Structure 1
Amino acid sequence: MLSGTGWGTLAGGAVLTTTGYALGYGEAAALGVTCLLAVAFAVLWALPAPVLGAERRIVPSRVSRGDPAEGVVVLTNTGSRARRGLRAVDRCGGQDITVEVPALNPGATHELRYPLPTARRGRVPVGPLRLERTDPLGLVRRMRPYGEPDTVLVRPRTCPLPVLPSGQAHHVEGPASDTADDGSLTFHALREYVLGDDLRRVHWRSTARTGTLMVRQMIDVSLPHTTLVLDTRRPAYASGDDFELAVDCAASIACAAARSHFPVHLVGATGPILRTDGTGDDGDALLDALAVVRGEELASVTAAFEGLERGRGDGALVVVTGDARGLGVVDRVRRGFGRVTVVLVGDADTDGPGTASDVRQLRVTSLDELAAGWRREAVR
């Protein structure tokens, strides 16, 4: 297809040629013919379709906000002629990233690397990759898509934190269903039998129905659990940066519990976001969930605390917000937890209703302040 320059050259050539011949201006006619010939030459130059193999991957596919991620494209000339005038164009997050491709001889392979934008948290679409062939004058561009669209998941930033004690003794080994006391175990799910499983936990009805030996998977309910309420209301924060810092704080707190294999109940302003049981890659699941959290136009955070009054009186409740005026609701649920901590992000408003004296408040304006304050809370 003709580029903007190509269309201008074609129109100009037509006007000059017509005017030159009509009015007897030979120079104008000659210039017009030259323009038309240039466009014709450009079309012939870009006409042959390049016979190329292209493979694109994203390294890494998950990255913390602000950390580097790259698109890696491997091009192979599978034709019998050298290819010149190529460039790779990849669309990422609404913007085009263009990389010039050097001349490729038959059978040659070349690897292209280009940075991807990771400044904004979320699922960033990448692609599809396009290869463009242009003539030396930039009058004609031929485009061909390669591969399928992909995504890079930009997660919140985190800092290492200890787990806050909840005030009661708990199983310190994590959710090991084979070693925990039977009195602290409860049914979680059914799974296929693996060598070494306790045969007393075989679920015979499911085994008969599926034809596969199935066992009960148990979890230790005595584990220290963390209920994390992230205030996702946009009006609760002075700026978008404060909201991003709140998500970073929530991610750091959640990952601290997940690294110790403790259950986490993540709640947003409108209700539950994710509940983990302390097994598997809970940290990755929590970061993936927080990567796509968006601000909401809500007036109250009350919905986030619905159902939390039925706590068992242990575990930790952590509230991350930028507005202290909505914290009166914390007093209604704090009896269901052994420890309650409120993290106030940014220039938080502290003129609202106060909370009970056993509710700790921690004001932070950066992840470094969160790390320092959290360690002080951990030794109280």
Structure 2
Amino acid sequence: MTRSGVVMAGATVGLLLAGAWADYPELVTLGFAGLGALVTAVAWLFVRPQLTAGREVRPRRVFEGSAARGLLTATNVGRRRSPPLLATETVGGHCITVPIPALVGGQSLQVGYPLPTERRGRYVIPPLVLSQSDPLRLLHRRRALGAGLVLHVYPRVHPLAMVTAGGPRDAEGPTASSAPPGGVAFHSLREYLLGDDWRLIHWGATARTGTLMARHLVVPDEPRQLVVLDTSAAPYTATMFEDAVRVAASFCVAAEQAGLPAQLRTTGDATGGVQWPDGEWGRDLSATLEFLSVVDSGGVDRGLAALLDTVRDVISADHGVALVVVTGRVDAGQAELLTLVRPRFLSVSLAQLVTAEPASTARPPGVLAVAAPTSAKFAVSWNRLVLR
């Protein structure tokens, strides 16, 4: 029963009682009129419209601030005309009401409506709710249709130039099975495949195994991008953490566009925020962005004090890795830590999201440090510094 229905029911009871007590026929007549309106509302809702509704989200993965739309398809599968209805969609606490006009039997209607994408996150959209009401809006009935949907809103990204310092340090250096083929470094022997250069055939191994074997040559020591996001709460003020997440996402996207294997880790988990299969460096950018859409700051997190534990396996592997640390304000001890690990990487970059002037922020020796109050201003300052 709606608020109007409650008022109507109370007035009906009051009029009937007052008319009977005062022997006032006119009040009793008004009371019966209200009772008739309530009975009519019940009869109106007694017949449920034979309406089916389905909806989808296009696209299901968008960047923060980009357009995402819901598409509702309603069909009257009955023979009688359906009454006007209201469909309610709930996304991240926002209620979106979509009116569905009256449909004749067999008629279908498609309605599109925008979805909120102002904030990153993983939004679980519950089933659609259809609301039916009588003409006087005294009663209404709701029913849920369809299944739940999921909308991923990735952090906003900015174009970033990649640091070109470093690169393959040895043409015959360390290799990995995930390294791209076609290089000059010998990694292992494998069976000969149709189309392989016959000059790669290893005749000695072929004679020993009885199977045609070939040398597997790869590009050695491929440069890699490691992005470490500081997820502790102490370095950030106000909404700075949101900007830090955008900067981390921007570096991951830039590495993907440059064709560099990348990995994202957080200080809150020494084994890495995103785990790639078998511990290898991966290129699954969507998994990284999905993680960044839900990552949060706070909790039990040592911040940059856990940096050595976070990158220890990379240092021990001695691969050509470019390190990017995304954080807020950096103190003297943390700056000294970055200087300490600098010789073990091709390059070390420090992205600071701070409200103070860049001149007052930490600039560890040998570290490419850029500070800015927002992710957009960081991208401008970073590209100006790297591309000059």
The match for 2:260 is 262
Deviation string 1:3-46 (CA, Å, 9 cap, x unpaired) is 23212321221122122212223333222222221111111112
SS at match of 2:254: helix
SS at match of 1:295: coil
Deviation at 1:76, TM superposition (A): 0.8
Deviation at 1:279, TM superposition (A): 5.6
CA distance in 2, matches of 1:293, 1:186: 39
CA distance in 2, matches of 1:156, 1:168: 29
Cα 1:61/1:221, change in 2 over 3 Å: farther
SS at match of 1:103: coil
Equivalent AA in structure 2 for residue 107 of structure 1:
G
The match for 1:371 is 379
Deviation at 1:340, TM superposition (A): 0.9
Deviation string 1:210-269 (CA, Å, 9 cap, x unpaired) is xxxxxxx998661211111111122321112x2111111110111111222322221112
In 2, are the aligned partners of 1:270 and 1:304 still within 8 Å (CA)?
Answer: no
CA distance in 1, matches of 2:238, 2:180: 45
Percentage identity across aligned positions? Answer: 31
Equivalent AA in structure 2 for residue 361 of structure 1:
A
Match of 1:295 among 291, 294, 297: 297
The match for 2:92 is 93
CA distance in 2, matches of 1:178, 1:339: 25
After TM superposition, list the pairs within 5 Å mapping 1:174-185 onto structure 2: 177-183=180-186, 185=187
The match for 1:314 is 320
After TM superposition, list the pairs within 5 Å mapping 1:326-337 onto structure 2: 326-337=334-345
Deviation at 1:337, TM superposition (A): 0.8
SS at match of 1:236: coil
SS at match of 1:334: helix
SS at match of 2:182: coil
| Structure 2 residue 354 is the aligned partner of structure 1 residue 346 | yes
In 2, are the aligned partners of 1:186 and 1:220 still within 8 Å (CA)?
Answer: no
TM-score by length of 1: 0.83
| Structure 2 residue 368 is the aligned partner of structure 1 residue 360 | yes
Cα 1:39/1:180, change in 2 over 3 Å: farther
Cα 1:304/1:137, change in 2 over 3 Å: farther
CA distance in 2, matches of 1:219, 1:43: 76
CA distance in 2, matches of 1:26, 1:197: 103
In 2, are the aligned partners of 1:87 and 1:131 still within 8 Å (CA)?
Answer: yes
In 1, are the aligned partners of 2:226 and 2:324 still within 8 Å (CA)?
Answer: yes
Cα 1:278/1:306, change in 2 over 3 Å: closer
In 2, are the aligned partners of 1:64 and 1:156 still within 8 Å (CA)?
Answer: yes
Name stretches of at least 5 consecutive residues in structure 2 with no aligned partner. 172-177, 202-215
Cα 1:107/1:38, change in 2 over 3 Å: same
In 2, are the aligned partners of 1:313 and 1:335 still within 8 Å (CA)?
Answer: no
What is the RMSD computed on CA atoms of the aligned residues? Answer: 3.2
SS at match of 1:89: strand
Equivalent AA in structure 2 for residue 246 of structure 1:
A
In 2, are the aligned partners of 1:46 and 1:141 still within 8 Å (CA)?
Answer: yes
SS at match of 2:352: strand
CA distance in 1, matches of 2:329, 2:49: 58
CA distance in 1, matches of 2:381, 2:351: 10
Cα 1:196/1:252, change in 2 over 3 Å: farther
CA distance in 1, matches of 2:308, 2:139: 61
Equivalent AA in structure 2 for residue 91 of structure 1:
T
CA distance in 1, matches of 2:195, 2:39: 75
The match for 1:80 is 79
Q: How many residues align?
A: 353
After TM superposition, list the pairs within 5 Å mapping 1:219-230 onto structure 2: 222-230=221-229
Deviation string 1:300-343 (CA, Å, 9 cap, x unpaired) is 31224315245227321111111112444323322221211111
The match for 1:285 is 287
After TM superposition, list the pairs within 5 Å mapping 1:69-218 onto structure 2: 69-169=68-168, 177-183=180-186, 185=187
| Structure 2 residue 70 is the aligned partner of structure 1 residue 68 | no
Moved over 6 A (4+): 194-200, 349-353
Cα 1:115/1:195, change in 2 over 3 Å: farther
Name stretches of at least 5 consecutive residues in structure 1 with no aligned partner. 188-193, 201-216
Equivalent AA in structure 1 for residue 383 of structure 2:
R
TM-score by length of 2: 0.81
Cα 1:111/1:195, change in 2 over 3 Å: farther
